């Protein structure tokens, strides 16, 4: 067998012997997290296997992973949990904040092997797999977080199992994943609310949430990625809430004759929400009381004529300190935002769209001074950049729903 043409062939087998012997078996348990700056973290596959792309962001919540995963504002983001143990309380059917998991991928350090909670019906890994969510575990999430904090949120990808191998079964070099990571669209300029909104309107009734007697008011809530607990917190206060799709027009709203209009949280860049900015201007022009949360705060900011901008790494977690400038009180809040309104903190200014009169930044972040709330002084409108419904808690900010009720009552009496 000195003829080089036969090298690697076993007599009679008709197959190149070396190729067969060297072909590696696919290791189903390996996963990589690849950041757009070229950093690669190798860990263990978690949940579904394959390839997923998204913006890598970190969340500092110590609890509430089910609420995080099902928050539609996380669409197209790979969430890295800073809390090292995830999945300890399993998954239940009561805590989801929407109809499905929205994160594009999930990165954790130690995933619980045996969940323990009286409400748990399955493991988190099972839930991720069932919903096709690709994750990675056993990576140094602290290192990832420090990198994202220093370099800013980055485009990223998780690649696992088959996705790690080329056509002939060889492990791809890590840099081979970078092209896919870098070719995905940026979160800046992403228009996503229409992708996550419910197509059909529905009503959340006070009677189903412990309210006795007639509803005190009707609210039109525009779903840009609304979370389950938001209309519930309103219904608990006697508000009948019509949850409406992101494409709702002012004429649709008028038909309901609501006493108040609400704009929800939602994914994507507020600079792309021109439809909703236009809608909100019609609402403000009509004098109807308005309350907005998160994306809704950014849309109010833009409707008033302020700009929005992308934060370097954003605020995500349920332990974000905010100052209420009206009372001087500090609230610990639930947040998930990567963009913010560019308005001056600490002074009353005339809105750039001057027909809306004077505006104050009502709340700001105690970590970095970012605008966390807006209050109009001459029209009945206010909003916060955080999530006062805070399903996993804390509940410091629940008073904002009372403020909305008061605003509608004042307006009705006026």
Ligand X SMILES: NC(=O)CC[C@H](N)C(=O)O
**Would you give the DSSP letter of residue 344?**
-
Flag whether 339 is marked binding.
yes
Per-residue interface string for the shown chain with ligand X, residues 276-315, x marking contact by CB under 6 A: ------------------xx--------------------
Q: Taking the complex as a whole, how short is the minimal distance between the CB of residue 264 and ligand X, in angstroms?
A: 7
In Å, how far are 141, 375, 377, 378 from 407, measured between CA atoms?
A: 43, 12, 12, 12
Q: Does 382 bind ligand X (CB under 6 A)?
A: no
Write the DSSP assignment of 378-404 as a string of letters: SSSEEEESS-TT-TTS--TTTHHHHHH
In Å, how far are 277, 295, 414 from 281, measured between CA atoms?
A: 6, 15, 21
Flag whether 38 is marked binding.
no
- Apex 368 CA angle, 276 and 351, nearest 5: 40
294 assigned to active site? yes
Q: Which class for 11: exposed (0-12), middle (13-18), buried (19 or more C-beta within 10 A)? A: exposed
Of residues 270 and 380, the one with the C-beta less far from ligand X:
270
376 assigned to active site? no
Q: Does 388 bind ligand X (CB under 6 A)?
A: no
Whole-angstrom distance, CA of residue 31 vs CA of residue 87 = 19
In Å, how far are 219, 310, 340, 380 from 302, measured between CA atoms?
A: 22, 14, 10, 16
Q: Segment contacting ligand X (CB under 6 A): 37-45, 162-170, 337-345, 359-367?
A: 337-345
Q: Does 338 bind ligand X (CB under 6 A)?
A: yes
Beta bridge partners of 34: 40, 157
Q: Taking the complex as a whole, how short is the minimal distance between the CB of residue 271 and ligand X, in angstroms?
A: 10
Radius of gyration from C-alpha coordinates of the chain: 25
Among 96, 267, 373, 388, binds ligand X (CB under 6 A): 267
Indicate which residue of 67, 294, 315, 363 is catalytic.
Answer: 294
Flag whether 92 is marked binding.
no
Q: Taking the complex as a whole, how short is the minimal distance between the CB of residue 311 and ligand X, in angstroms?
A: 8
Q: Taking the complex as a whole, how short is the minimal distance between the CB of residue 265 and ligand X, in angstroms?
A: 3
Whole-angstrom distance, CA of residue 205 vs CA of residue 214 = 10
Tell me which residue of 107, 411, 68, 369 sits closest to 260, measured CA to CA. Answer: 411
Q: Segment contacting ligand X (CB under 6 A): 15-23, 140-148, 203-211, 266-274?
A: 266-274
Q: Does 246 bind ligand X (CB under 6 A)?
A: no
Cβ atoms of 357 and 305 within 8 Å: the answer is: no
Among 52, 68, 73, 141, binds ligand X (CB under 6 A): 73
Q: Does 47 bind ligand X (CB under 6 A)?
A: no
Whole-angstrom distance, CA of residue 101 vs CA of residue 178 = 26
Q: Segment contacting ligand X (CB under 6 A): 16-24, 104-112, 145-153, 259-267?
A: 259-267
Of residues 149 and 175, the one with the C-beta less far from ligand X:
149
Instruction: Please name the residue that has the structure tokens 């509803």.
Output: 215
Among 89, 145, 288, 336, binds ligand X (CB under 6 A): 336
First vs last C-alpha separation in the chain: 101
Flag whether 336 is marked binding.
yes
Q: Does 52 bind ligand X (CB under 6 A)?
A: no
Does the CA dihedral 73-79-80-84 come out positive or negative? positive
410 assigned to active site? no
Flag whether 262 is marked binding.
no
Please state the residue numbers annotated as binding site for L-glutamine: 73, 266, 268, 295, 298, 336, 338-339
Which sequence positions are flagged as catalytic?
294, 387, 389
Positions touching ligand X (CB under 6 A) are 73, 265-268, 294-295, 336-339
């Amino acid at each position: 067998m000195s003829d080089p043409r036969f090298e690697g062939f076993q007599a009679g087998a008709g197959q190149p012997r070396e190729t067969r012997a060297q072909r590696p078996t696919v290791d189903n348990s390996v996963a990589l997290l690849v950041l757009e700056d070229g950093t690669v973290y190798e860990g263990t596959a978690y949940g579904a296997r394959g390839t997923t792309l998204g913006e890598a962001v970190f969340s500092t919540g110590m609890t509430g992973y089910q609420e995080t995963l099902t928050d539609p504002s996380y669409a197209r983001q790979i969430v890295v949990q800073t809390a090292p143990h995830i999945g300890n309380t399993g998954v239940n059917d009561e805590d989801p904040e929407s109809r499905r998991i929205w994160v594009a991928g999930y990165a954790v350090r130690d995933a619980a092997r045996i969940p323990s909670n009286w409400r748990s019906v399955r493991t988190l890994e099972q839930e991720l797999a069932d919903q096709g969510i690709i994750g990675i575990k056993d990576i140094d999430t602290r290192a990832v977080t420090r990198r994202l904090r220093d370099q800013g949120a980055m485009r990223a990808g998780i690649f696992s199992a088959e996705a790690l191998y080329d056509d002939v079964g060889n492990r791809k070099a890590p840099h081979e994943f970078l092209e896919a990571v870098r070719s995905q669209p940026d979160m800046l300029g992403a228009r996503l609310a229409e992708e996550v909104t419910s197509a059909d309107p529905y009503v959340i009734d006070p009677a189903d949430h412990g309210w006795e007697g007639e509803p005190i008011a009707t609210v039109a809530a525009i779903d840009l990625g609304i979370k389950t607990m938001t209309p519930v917190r309103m219904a608990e206060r006697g508000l009948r809430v019509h949850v409406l799709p992101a494409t709702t027009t002012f004429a649709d709203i008028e038909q309901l004759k609501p006493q108040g209009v609400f704009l929800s949280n939602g994914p994507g860049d507020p600079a792309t929400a021109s439809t909703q900015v236009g809608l909100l201007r019609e609402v403000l022009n009509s004098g109807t009381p308005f309350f907005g949360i998160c994306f809704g705060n950014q849309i109010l900011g833009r409707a008033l004529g302020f700009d929005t901008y992308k934060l370097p790494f954003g605020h995500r977690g349920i332990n974000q300190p905010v100052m209420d400038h009206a009372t001087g009180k500090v609230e610990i809040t639930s947040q998930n935002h990567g963009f913010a309104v560019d308005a001056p903190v600490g002074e009353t200014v005339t809105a750039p769209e001057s027909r809306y009169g004077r505006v104050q930044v009502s709340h700001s972040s105690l970590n970095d001074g970012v605008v966390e709330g807006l209050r109009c002084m001459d029209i009945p409108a206010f909003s916060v950049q955080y999530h006062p419904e805070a399903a996993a808690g804390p509940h410091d900010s629940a008073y904002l729903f009372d403020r909305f009720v008061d605003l509608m009552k004042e307006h009705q009496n006026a």
